[in-house]
Amino acid sequence: MEDTVDEKALTDVGAMSIKALKFAKDLVKPGARLLDVAEKAEGFLKENGYGCAFPINLSVNREAAHYTPKLGDDKVFGDNDLVKVDFGAAKSGVLGDCALTVDLGGSNVNLVAAAERALADAISVVKAGVSVSAIGRQINSAAEQAGFQPIMNLGGHGVGVHDLHSGVFIPNFDNKDDTVLEEGEVIAIEPFITNAKKNTVVESDICEIYQFSHAGAVRARNARDLMVKIIANYESEPFAVRWLGGTVNSDFGLYAGIRELLMNDIIISHPMLICASEGLVAQAEAEILVEKDGCKVLTE
């Protein structure tokens, strides 16, 4: 994290992030529309004077991450869904990131508890000088002790100013990476735990989250209009396609414009990630400030 960001700003954004996450959690109920939950949760941040660090993720069951509702989305939560809620506040480039899992059916208590235990065990060893692989070892051990597996190709990350995934990568297993944490560094630790046979994720063909890369020449008017709006409003943080509704005159034109921007590398995609085999995924996440002899959890 840049030196210009003091601990007070980090704590402030972290506190609002967990408040917004809990607000969203209370909205996740069987029969509730995902779009309604997303709009209310994101609106909660706006009403309190904050932006979104990224579109709220509401990933269900086999979905591990990056599902956010589309325009007019009529998808609702089922009675037995396992829902990952991943959310964070933003203010002046300072970003929050935290997540939890809601077990609507009550049949996956052990899986959810394993993710939460893995997060707690990982946090317990965080301090300046600790290697990222040591953190991953804690996560893997907690998962296996509970009879589950960590997702091997997902993990935590550094958090910078206007940069949600900066610096170090925090694995969910001991990957032998001897990179060590530094005092003053901000990281997000996020164990993904699964009961699936294959403990990896793959990209799906669903994508509603994108991020601006750089300006460029495009042919279609709708693509140009979208680029102008993206630069004006979402130049740094990821955005949802639904946030651009009304920029062009039809949903077809909106998605056609998105495709053209993507083909010209003006935006990059963050597709929904799903477990590589049948099974469920639980997630827990906290944002942490690394200190000399320990750490401070910013999202609590």
Q: How many C-beta neighbours within 10 Å does residue 214 have?
A: 9
Annotated catalytic residue: which of 165, 174, 177, 251? Answer: 165
Q: Output DSSP code: residue 242.
A: G
Task: Measure Cα distances from 8 to 41, 89, 189 in Å.
Answer: 24, 15, 20
157 is known as an active-site residue: yes
Which of 72, 97, 85, 88 lies closest to 255 in space, CA to CA? Answer: 72
Q: What is the DSSP string of 103-134?
A: ESSSS-HHHHHHHHHHHHHHHHT-STT-BHHH
Annotated catalytic residue: which of 63, 121, 185, 285? Answer: 285
Annotated catalytic residue: which of 63, 81, 86, 260? Answer: 86
Structure tokens at 67: 């599902």
Annotated catalytic residue: which of 42, 63, 81, 97? Answer: 97
39 is known as an active-site residue: no
182 is known as an active-site residue: no
Q: Which residues 6+ apart lie within 8 Å of 44 measured at CB?
A: 20, 23, 24
66 is known as an active-site residue: no
Q: Is the torsion defined by CA of 19, 21, 25, 31 positive or negative? A: positive
Annotated catalytic residue: which of 103, 121, 157, 270? Answer: 157
Whether 61 contacts 195, CB under 8 Å: no
Question: Which residues of 140-199 form beta strands (DSSP E)?
Answer: 149-150, 155-160, 163-171, 186-189, 192-194
Annotated catalytic residue: which of 190, 208, 237, 260? Answer: 190
Residues acting as catalytic residues = 86, 97, 157, 165, 190, 285
